Amino acid sequence: MLHDCDSPACCNPSHLRVGTDFDNVQDCIDRKRRAQDRNHHQDSKYSRCLSETQVQEIRLKRFLKLATLKELAKEYGVSISAIDRAANARRGD
Q: Report helix angle 69-76 to 80-87, nearest 10.
A: 110
Q: What distance in Å separates the CA atoms of residue 35 and residue 6, rounded to the nearest whole number?
A: 14
Q: Quick one: pLDDT at residue 42?
A: 40
Tens of pLDDT, residues 53-83: 888 899 999 999 999 999 999 999 888 988 9
Domain ranges of the chain: 1-33, 42-93
In the chain, the DSSP E strands lie at 2-3, 16-17
- 4-56, pLDDT tens digit by residue? 776 767 778 888 888 887 777 777 777 776 655 444 444 344 556 788 888 88
